[in-house]
Amino acid sequence: MSTYLYGITFADHPAEVGDLRGIGPSPAPARVLPAGDELSAVVGDVEGELRAKRRDLLAHQEILRALCDSGPTLPMRFGIVADDDTAVAHEIAAKAEVYTAVLRRVSGHVEMNVKVSHREEAVLGQILAGDEEIRNLAAGLREDAGRGEAEQVRFGELVAGRLEEREAEDADAVLGYLLPLASEHSPGPRVDGCFFNCSFLVPKEKTAEFQDAVQRLRALVEEVAEVRVQGPLPPYSFTEDQ
């Protein structure tokens, strides 16, 4: 049997998570494990080999969400397993200062993740409309459909370059729009065609304001882009020691 880690909290965190489904094929309830004087780990027992499934991801997320609702919580990355409770308590207590500092930092905050993708046709249309060279090339290619693939590829590459420039400009604009409402931000990887993927650490009391701002953003850019927001989330992107 091993010990699965959900998150780290201050020792005085109420941590009422016993009723939530844990992870694993025969899930054990989450429980609180003291780790030194100041901190606790929220853990669960896992038996044998753990194979991550959708329901496990959900269990991880839901337990962390419940924890975050009732006090500052450092969410673990999904799938961290220790040999036993002793190892967990020992490791966390050994770095108590670091974890305490990060917990203070995220205290009273939630993570909001915003992803923006371009509506391809609209943006390509804009690139054509705003760039004579590209427009002429496009017209030329269209008139002479017999031209070779190589020429099509060169044209496509040129368009791709313009699109990349546009993405950088637009990402800056989106960031500038949302940044004033956040305490910190953390850019994420490009996923699923999104030219903008960024998490914001937002004070809890500003969550509604942030969501309103995203709604306005969505309405403003709807013609050219799709905006998606997720949150409030556990502060996954803000657990790094600074």
Partner 1 sequence: MTMATGRSSSGSQLQRGPGTGNLYDILELILDKGLVIDAFVRVSLVGIELLTVDARIVVASVDTYLRFAQACNRLDLTRASSATTLPDLLGEVTEKGAKGKSKGALTGAVETFAEQFQKSSDKDGEEAEERPRGRSRRSSARSSE
Scanning residues 28 to 87, which ones bind partner 1 (CB under 8 A)? 49-54, 57-58, 60-62, 65, 74-82, 87
Task: Tell me if 21 contacts partner 1 by CB under 8 A.
Answer: no
Mask for 154-173, x = binds partner 1 (CB under 8 A): xxxx-xx--xx-x--xx-xx
In terms of CB distance, is 17 or 194 closer to partner 1? Answer: 194
Copy the structure tokens of residue 96: 């108590």
> What does the alpha-carbon distance between residue 85 and residue 83 come to, in Å, rounded to a whole number?
7
Task: Tell me if 118 contacts partner 1 by CB under 8 A.
Answer: yes
Task: Tell me if 105 contacts partner 1 by CB under 8 A.
Answer: no
With CB under 8 A as the rule, give the number of residues binding partner 1.
105
Cα 236 to Cα 68, 139, 240: the distances in Å are 11, 48, 9
> What does the alpha-carbon distance between residue 94 and residue 38 come to, in Å, rounded to a whole number?
11
Task: Tell me if 211 contacts partner 1 by CB under 8 A.
Answer: yes
Copy the structure tokens of residue 147: 């031209």
Task: Tell me if 119 contacts partner 1 by CB under 8 A.
Answer: yes
144 φ/ψ angles, rounded to the nearest 5 degrees: -115, 75
> What does the alpha-carbon distance between residue 159 and residue 139 come to, in Å, rounded to a whole number?
14
Q: Tell me how far, at minimum, the Cβ of 29 lies from partner 1, in Å.
A: 19
Of the candidates 26, 191, 205, 242, which one interacts with partner 1 according to CB under 8 A?
191
CB 117 within 8 A of CB 222: no
125 φ/ψ angles, rounded to the nearest 5 degrees: -60, -40
Task: Tell me if 226 contacts partner 1 by CB under 8 A.
Answer: yes
Task: Tell me if 148 contacts partner 1 by CB under 8 A.
Answer: no
Task: Tell me if 22 contacts partner 1 by CB under 8 A.
Answer: no
Task: Tell me if 135 contacts partner 1 by CB under 8 A.
Answer: yes
